[in-house]
Structures are given as C-alpha cells and as structure tokens.
Amino acid sequence: GTMPCQCWTEASVNSRETLMSTTARFTSISAIAVSPDGVVNIADQGNLHILALEHYLATHDENGEFRIPYTPTGEEYIFNRYGQHIATRDITTGKSRYSFLYSKNTSFGKLSTVTDSAGN
C-alpha cells in the first residue's frame, strides 16, 4: 500500500526514518518523478532509498487553526482563527513545547497563560 509522506519523512523498503528534506544526502539519484498529487519522488540508487517530498506550507484545519512549520528550529506554530498563537509543537514528534491561553476566545482576547511541555 501507499504510505503518506511529509517533507520530513524518508521511507525505504525496510525502514522509515524521520528526516528534514533540507538535510537529505544523496549518493546516486537514478530517477525523479512527480505524482498527480504533487509529491516529488526521488530514487537514490546509491543509498537504496526513495525520498517522497511534499510541500509543507501553512495549512488550516476544520477548526480554523493554522499550522506554520519553521524547520530551522524544528517547530510548528499553531494559530487560532483570530490569529492568536495557541501552541508550539515539535515538527518530528508532534509533542507540544508550549501552549498559550487567552482571556477570551475572540480577537480581543489577551494572552493570559503560557505553559511549557513540563506543565509549568
């Protein structure tokens, strides 16, 4: 079957490793193909790997939350529909690093609480 891949995921026949596409090292690229859904597939014959790259731009979900990746720090910033920063997560693990609460769930809400991954 087909496994969905993100730009930070490298999948091979026998393993699946987490990897930022900006740190990928190729030995001998033997083929490049783009699938109909826009995923760039790169076959590295020298490493016996196939790397599937998918663009990772700001997206929003059904709750109106926006997710913006920042690869230099390995973080993803989540904003609510009012543009308030509500969480910072680790890109590779998805674990929360910080969460932010506001006095009101509107654009007039003021930051009231910041909590780190340890609950402080």
pLDDT at 119: 93
Q: Residue 96: which of 61, 63, 120 has the closest Cα?
A: 120
Burial class (CB in 10 A: 0-12, 13-18, 19+), 67: middle
Predicted structure pTM score? 0.55
What average pLDDT values come out for the chain (120 residues) when binned by 10 residues?
Answer: 46 50 81 89 88 74 87 89 94 94 92 95
pLDDT at 4: 47
Domain spans in the chain, listed from the N-terminal domain onward: 9-53, 59-116
| Phi-psi region at 119: left, alpha or beta (left = phi > 0; alpha = psi -120 to 50) | left
Asked whether the beta carbons of 8 and 22 are under 8 A apart, the reply is no
pLDDT at 112: 95
Asked whether the beta carbons of 10 and 19 are under 8 A apart, the reply is yes
| CA distance linking residue 56 with residue 48, whole number of Å | 25
pLDDT at 46: 86
pLDDT at 17: 54
